[in-house]
Amino acid sequence: MTAESTRSAEGTARALWLEAPGRYALRPAEAPPPASGEARVEATTSGISRGTERLVFEGRVPTSQHERMRAPRQEGAFPAPVKYGYASVGVVTGLGEGAGMDLAAGRRVFCLHPHQSAYTVPADALVPVPDEVSDARAVLAANMETALNGCWDAGLTVGQRVVVVGAGVLGLLVASLARATPGTEVTLVDPSPARRAPAEALGLMRWRAPADLAGDADLVVHTSATGAGLQTALAAAGTEATVLELSWFGDRSPALPLGEAFHSRRLRLVSSQVGRVAALQRSRWSRRERLALALRLLADPRYEALVAEEIPFADAPARLPEVLSVPGTLAARLRYR
């Protein structure tokens, strides 16, 4: 009997829990043999969505948003103890009857699942990872899905002048999608010099300081989750431009500068959130189809530059607090094998 089949027979696993704000621990978890319509997955890696998971780690999910912010297959409740996360990549190790034609033992899959070494879920919760997409890039699927939905919400189109304020993972993904749109001119704004290297790896070469922006952008996307960044985004917009807010501020209430020329420029301020498919696409795209597209978009090997750090799963409770606390860092991922 192989080690893999032994793990499947035992039906046990380990999961990362936030025991209290600022403190993680590993707990035993169940991963039983799959029943009809289910699949069992051994995780190989999972992605840390730094912005959202930092707010969860710090206990800053507003009480009013506790239910809306629940991740698929989350256990526990905010602020803690809670098992959270939504970017798991693994290998199918078992299938129940009727589990689906696109799955087979050994198939790599993506799942919206908390950080856990193995799990059993309905087979339709799994999306196959294309062969040309590495595990390191596949963990960015949830981030890419958010970026894609944001571009749909913003009505990104040919020939626009686009400014992205905040060059974290989400901002860089939005900028890369915008740059791939014919005729666009994409400018990044971020105070961290460390973010220039991954941006340039994606072919994003235009950087500006807030004071150097012309204020004539057709579309401004804000992802920095700072009040200063939001003010920069509004100032960068041209007449009748769209400002898309992709940040989530958690329990903070940033000042929204709606005086001066906000009204005379007739700016359009739009929020975007991945929980629903953008309205313009909702009748034609399901959430599963959108996620599958996000995975296909990660075929470009240059996206590997966005995953800055790899952490052994056993070390996660000790190392994640520092990773989530250091300003300016990009994505990290947990390694299970």
Give the integer Cα–Cα distance in Å for 156 and 169. Answer: 19
| CB distance 45 to 235 below 8 Å | no
Given 229, 250, 271, the domain boundary residue is: 271
Residues 62-94 have pLDDT tens digits of: 998 899 889 999 999 999 999 999 999 999 999
Write the single-letter amino acid at 57. F
Given 271, 290, 309, the domain boundary residue is: 271
Same domain as 306, residue 198: no
Tokens standing for residue 77: 């409740």
Residue 277 domain-assigned? no
Residues 178-217 have pLDDT tens digits of: 999 999 999 999 998 889 999 999 999 999 999 999 999 9
Query: What is the structure's pLDDT at 145?
Result: 97
**308 half-sphere exposure, CB direction, 13 A CA radius:** 17
What is the average pLDDT score of the chain? 92
> How far is it between the farthest Cα atoms of the chain?
72
Reported confidence tier of residue 5, pLDDT bands at 50, 70, 90: very low
Tokens standing for residue 228: 């200063």
Q: What is the mean pLDDT of residues 233-241?
A: 95
Given 219, 251, 271, the domain boundary residue is: 271
Beta-bridge mates of residue 162: 186, 219
Which domain covers residue 108, as residue numbers?
Answer: 3-140+300-335
| CB distance 185 to 219 below 8 Å | no
Beta-bridge mates of residue 111: 88, 126
**71 half-sphere exposure, CB direction, 13 A CA radius:** 23
CA-to-CA dists, residue 291 to 64, 142, 277, angstroms: 27, 7, 10
pLDDT at residue 4 tops 60: no
Look up the CATH number of the domain holding residue 261: 3.40.50.720
Same domain as 15, residue 51: yes
Same domain as 263, residue 159: yes
pLDDT at residue 256 tops 90: no
| CB distance 91 to 128 below 8 Å | no
Same domain as 85, residue 16: yes
Reported confidence tier of residue 13, pLDDT bands at 50, 70, 90: very high
Give the integer Cα–Cα distance in Å for 209 and 188. Answer: 9
Q: Is the pTM of this model over 0.95?
A: no
**297 half-sphere exposure, CB direction, 13 A CA radius:** 22
Residue 77 domain-assigned? yes
Look up the CATH number of the domain holding residue 70: 3.90.180.10
Same domain as 120, residue 99: yes
